Structure 1
Amino acid sequence: MRTDRIGTSDVRFRRQGEGDLAVLFVHGFLDDQYVWDGLIGELTTPGVECVTLDLAGSGDRTGASGPFGYDRFAGEVGAVADALGKPFVIVGQSMGSAVAELVAAERPGRALGLVLVTPVPLAGTRQPDALTAPFRSLGGDGDAQRAVRTRLSTALAEADLDRLVVSGTRIRPETVRETVGCWNDGHPAGARPSRYPGPVLVVRGADDGFVTAELVAQGVAPRFAAPETVVVDRAGHWAHLEQPAVVAGHLDRFLAAVLPTVRASGWTGAFAEKSADAFGEAFADDVTLEASALTRPVEGRDPVKNVLAAASAIYDSLVFTQETVSGERSYLEWRATAFGGMRIDGVTVLTKNAAGQIVRAAIHHRPLGAVHRFSAELGARLAGLLDAGYFHRG
């Protein structure tokens, strides 16, 4: 377990495990990041990194000042997703599910999956003031919070209930009132179909009296193209706490379907897209590119992504045939054709930093005649963007 921070802000996030795929968890109303610990302990999927954080006003950030709304929450969670520098699946519960959707929708290239646990609609629950007033008055009232959690759960262990009440009563009353307005009023994006195009799993507690089957069927599921909905027996609004092994099993199954696409979302996927932006997401700011088709290294994210976008467009076909990972380095063998059928073989060596971003790429082409022709064509396509001295003249 290790902790990182976003710049000099108060946004800190915990990281557990190692892998090329991150699973980012977003807690709900009155909760904190530790609500996910039991579920994370039940996961069996290898090669993933689990990441949690406290939303502003909750957990270790109760001293944060407002505003407390979806845009602020999504901006901070999105900054964590960006700092991870790798593809991710994002999991949100209750109010956190709406935050998770907003984050995923802004990063469709790296958000490989969206899991909504007992989700409130992004458009808001739209309850009248008379029904939301008891929630608005929960700040600092441990007895009232205990009563609400007991009423909306079926199998919440006493120890979990005690910890949730302690966590919830730490949140300032004014923060609680503003946050209720957030999930009740919703976000404008909730009034239209979701912009997130990837796979979606909806998990509902069978005995949840707040996020009911009707609410999911009418306000959540129709906004996605093809969501899968599962129901967890003997669980209410905190299904991830009440039945952590069952929910973890559904998440493991979801991750198993997502993992084969992790490789394609990075370097190899960027070659398939043949766009500079696709390469840019994988690189650190100070990335260095070395290649047999270049006379000297190219440095910096923008120049490097431009070179690779132009290079990918030269190939008629390109297939990655082998991949080996050793520590921070990945070794990829590939074969390609260009110029109407000329065969080109090669090996690429990628070196990543602790955040999973590529800091060095070394690309080796063969045979020599193909190297010279490829380099000359690359120089022609990058004329005006990169000095001609970077390319062989053959």
Structure 2
Amino acid sequence: MNTNQNTLSVPNGTIAYDDSGEGPLIVCVPGMGDLRASYRHLAPALVVAGYRVVTTDLRGHGDSSTGFPSYGDEETAGDVEALLDHLGSPAVIVGNSMGASAAMLTAARRPELVTGLVLLGPFGRNPKVSRALTLIMRAATAVPWVTVTWKAYLPSLYAGRKPADQAEYTASLFAALRRPGYAAAFSRTTRLSHDAVERALPAVHTPSLVLMGGLDPDFPDPRAEADWLANALGGTAVMVPDAGHYPQSQRPDLVVPAIESFLTTVVPRG
């Protein structure tokens, strides 16, 4: 697969993205603390299927720059909108976790840019947690501790089947996080709220597919959360067995055909 590595200038920094293939546009947005390589098992399959696939790093993550004044769902949605304006084409947005939150905001704010939404382990609202736990997590994700905390918590998000290249990928993720400025950017990103996403849901009228890992530990009841969001969007929920928060890399054998089937319903083909 021939891949062009690019950067896009946005206010206060740059956003890194890879661009592969030809055909209808698909833009893939990873979750907080992750890299665009989270789509390493999905993007090549979609390119082979005849799509142009762009995978992007979040601001302050991967090969994107740090030093932005703020981080979160709304800021990420702004970066996605800038990327789509730059690419000059509406797209199906594939978003994981926080990337799914940004995708929904983009569909609400700039519906002309979005032909479909594929939401993997999505946050459409804030999880219900106690104030005490919130304070504990804020302390644990402060700059001195955030890398250690993420390294301890990340394996639980891969509940179920592990990607064959998991050790190599995790090593590259933490190598990226250890660079100057990136732990601070990640720490600031963890302070995000999904309130704006929940408020925006009634304005999202884009065809939507919710893919939720049946073992996703970020939700007390993954199926109930997937059904709630799909109902709010008028979309479809599909549970992915033996997968946690990253079904695109844990179960590409199930996720790829589900996404390809959805694409045939929302993307015009010649």
Same fold? TM cut 0.5: yes
Paired letter, 1:234: D
Q: Given the superposition, is the C-alpha separation of residues 165 and 213 from structure 1 closer, same or farther in structure 2, using an over 3 Å criterion?
A: farther
Aligned-pair distance for 1:135? Answer: 6.8
Distance, in Å, in 2 between the alignment partners of 1:129 and 1:31 is 26
Q: Which has the higher contact order (CA 8 A, sep 6+)?
A: 2
Q: Decide which of 67, 70, 91 is 1:67's aligned counterpart.
A: 70
Q: Deviations over 1:242-293 (max 9, x none)?
A: 1122111111111111223x67xxxxxxxxxxxxxxxxxxxxxxxxxxxxxx
Question: Does the alignment pair 1:43 with 2:46?
Answer: yes
Paired letter, 2:166: D
Match of 1:362 in 2: none
Tell me, yes or no, if the aligned pair for 2:27 and 2:55 is still in contact at 8 Å: yes
Match of 1:92 in 2: 95
Distance, in Å, in 2 between the alignment partners of 1:92 and 1:112 is 14
Tell me, yes or no, if the aligned pair for 2:30 and 2:95 is still in contact at 8 Å: yes
Paired letter, 2:112: G
RMSD (CA atoms):
2.5
Tell me, yes or no, if the aligned pair for 1:112 and 1:198 is still in contact at 8 Å: yes
Paired letter, 1:131: L
Aligned-pair distance for 1:72? Answer: 1.5
Q: Decide which of 219, 223, 227 is 2:235's aligned counterpart.
A: 227
Tell me, yes or no, if the aligned pair for 1:70 and 1:187 is still in contact at 8 Å: no
Q: Deviations over 1:367-393 (max 9, x none)?
A: xxxxxxxxxxxxxxxxxxxxxxxxxxx
Q: Given the superposition, is the C-alpha separation of residues 168 and 191 from structure 1 closer, same or farther in structure 2, using an over 3 Å criterion?
A: farther
Match of 1:16 in 2: 20
Alignment of 1:111-126 (within 5 A): 111-121=114-124, 123-126=125-128
Q: Deviations over 1:124-177 (max 9, x none)?
A: 224334334347625666554343222232112363245235424644443333
TM-score by length of 2: 0.84
Identity within the alignment, %:
26
Q: Which moved more, 1:54-63 or 1:97-106?
A: 54-63
- The 3-state SS of whatever aligns with 1:204 is strand
Distance, in Å, in 2 between the alignment partners of 1:143 and 1:11 is 25
Tell me, yes or no, if the aligned pair for 2:14 and 2:65 is still in contact at 8 Å: no
Q: Given the superposition, is the C-alpha separation of residues 198 and 135 from structure 1 closer, same or farther in structure 2, using an over 3 Å criterion?
A: same
Tell me, yes or no, if the aligned pair for 2:115 and 2:206 is still in contact at 8 Å: yes
The runs of 5 or more residues in structure 2 that have no matched partner are none
Alignment of 1:351-366 (within 5 A): none
Q: Which moved more, 1:47-56 or 1:147-156?
A: 147-156
Larger Cα Rg: Structure 1 or Structure 2? 1
Question: Does the alignment pair 1:239 with 2:241?
Answer: no
Structure (1 or 2) with the greater strand fraction: 1
Q: Deviations over 1:100-132 (max 9, x none)?
A: 1111223323411011001112x3224334334
Match of 1:376 in 2: none
Distance, in Å, in 1 between the alignment partners of 2:50 and 2:97 is 27
Tell me, yes or no, if the aligned pair for 1:13 and 1:80 is still in contact at 8 Å: no
Paired letter, 1:198: T
The runs of 5 or more residues in structure 1 that have no matched partner are 264-394
Distance, in Å, in 1 between the alignment partners of 2:184 and 2:119 is 27
- The 3-state SS of whatever aligns with 2:202 is coil
Distance, in Å, in 1 between the alignment partners of 2:264 and 2:18 is 23
Q: Decide which of 21, 30, 35 is 2:33's aligned counterpart.
A: 30
Distance, in Å, in 1 between the alignment partners of 2:54 and 2:265 is 20
Q: Given the superposition, is the C-alpha separation of residues 201 and 112 from structure 1 closer, same or farther in structure 2, using an over 3 Å criterion?
A: same
- The 3-state SS of whatever aligns with 1:197 is coil
Paired letter, 1:238: Y
Match of 1:176 in 2: 186
Question: Does the alignment pair 1:148 with 2:153?
Answer: yes
Tell me, yes or no, if the aligned pair for 2:32 and 2:58 is still in contact at 8 Å: no
Tell me, yes or no, if the aligned pair for 1:137 and 1:173 is still in contact at 8 Å: no
Match of 2:58 in 1: 55
Tell me, yes or no, if the aligned pair for 1:142 and 1:166 is still in contact at 8 Å: no
Q: Given the superposition, is the C-alpha separation of residues 167 and 129 from structure 1 closer, same or farther in structure 2, using an over 3 Å criterion?
A: farther
Match of 1:253 in 2: 261
Distance, in Å, in 1 between the alignment partners of 2:146 and 2:104 is 30
Q: Which moved more, 1:148-157 or 1:164-173?
A: 164-173
Q: Given the superposition, is the C-alpha separation of residues 45 and 195 from structure 1 closer, same or farther in structure 2, using an over 3 Å criterion?
A: farther
- The 3-state SS of whatever aligns with 1:10 is strand
Aligned-pair distance for 1:223? Answer: 2.3
How many residues matched? 256
Q: Which runs of 4+ in 1 moved over 4 A?
A: 138-143
Match of 1:335 in 2: none
